[in-house]
Amino acid sequence: MTERTSGIRSVLSVPAAYELLQRALGSPNVRQEYVKQHVRPAEGDRVLDIGCGPGDILAYFPEVTYVGVDPSPAYIASATRRFSGKGMFSVAGVDDLDAKELGEFDLVIAKGVLHHIDDDQATKLFSVAAQVLAPAGRVVTLDPGFAPGQSALSRFMVGQDRGANVRSEQRYVELARACFDNVQSTVHHRLLRIPYTHVILDCAAPKPIDDMPDPVG
Ligand SMILES: C[S@@+](CC[C@H](N)C(=O)[O-])C[C@H]1O[C@@H](n2cnc3c(N)ncnc32)[C@H](O)[C@@H]1O
């Protein structure tokens, strides 16, 4: 994982501290917008959440079949303790995922993950997601990003993120387009209580596996 973890940022690997900061900044609003307006889950959907963290997104979903994976044992322990009746959780990062073992999903989500991983890992994430999607399935991601129309303060705040791979909207789209024919991006500047820019990707129509770049897996 590519992450800046020195100083105050190290506290955020503790699930309770992470959730406290998220609430203070207004993260419930981000989750609400992301799930209701962009992910749009339907009851009974099969959902794969890559980089699920402590699993808080589940509170915004209807009854779905949910599989959450994250490389952090502490986050997975927290998610399992709080949401075991609503989903299945396991310790795994993008590099550990094997599309052939995962099954089929109507939705693949990765909220706040792309900016923590490098380009090869992002390509692996999109290629695995493309391979496990049901025919009408979609992949929906959300990350901090740099985008036209962004204020200087938002640009500064986004640059302070723990993730070492915050990208431009255009670069996030390029990475997704390597694996999907249909990629729509949306930029939000005011979902948090502070000036901050989020880039949401909605990806459909996976390319044939032979047309995807390496590494695939
Ligand atoms: C900002 S948190 C987001 C957590 C959760 N999706 C949420 O929205 O609350 C970023 C997450 O990405 C996970 N992550 C970092 N590197 C990863 C990797 N290589 N593969 C999968 N997840 C990763 C971290 O463990 C962390 O849980």
With a pLDDT cut of 70, the percent of the chain lying above it is 91
Lowest mean pLDDT segment, chosen from 8-12, 35-39, 150-154? 8-12
31, 70, 111, 118, best to mutate for ligand 1 pocket (most atoms within 8 Å of CB): 70
Specify the higher pLDDT residue, 138 or 7: 138
Residue 148 is predicted with a pLDDT of 92
Residue 127 is predicted with a pLDDT of 97
4, 98, 113, 162, best to mutate for ligand 1 pocket (most atoms within 8 Å of CB): 113
For the record, the structure tokens of 216 come out as: 């695939």
Using the mean position of ligand 1's atoms as its centre, give its distance from the Cα of residue 54 in Å: 9
- Work out whether strand 46-50 and strand 105-111 pair parallel, antiparallel, or are unpaired: parallel
Residue 5 is predicted with a pLDDT of 59
CA distance 107 to 12: 27
Residue 92 is predicted with a pLDDT of 98
Residue 184 has pLDDT above 80, yes or no: yes
State which CATH number among 3.40.50.150, 3.30.160.20, 3.40.50.2020, 3.40.190.10 fits the domain covering 7-211. 3.40.50.150
Average pLDDT over residues 61-66: 96
Using the mean position of ligand 1's atoms as its centre, give its distance from the Cα of residue 181 in Å: 25
Residue 217 is predicted with a pLDDT of 46
> Domain map of the chain by residue range?
7-211
Residue 8 has pLDDT above 90, yes or no: no
CB 118 within 8 A of CB 165: yes
**Mean pLDDT, rounded, of the chain:** 92
pLDDT tens, 83-136?
Answer: 988 999 999 999 999 999 999 999 999 999 999 999 999 999 999 999 999 999
- 144 CB within 6 A, ligand 1: no
Per the listing, tokens 């997601």 go with 129
CA distance 169 to 198: 9
- Work out whether strand 198-206 and strand 133-146 pair parallel, antiparallel, or are unpaired: antiparallel
CA distance 204 to 182: 5
Q: Binning pLDDT at 50, 70 and 90, where does residue 2 land?
A: low
Using the mean position of ligand 1's atoms as its centre, give its distance from the Cα of residue 35 in Å: 17
Q: Is 148 exposed, middle or buried (0-12, 13-18, 19+ CB in 10 A)?
A: exposed
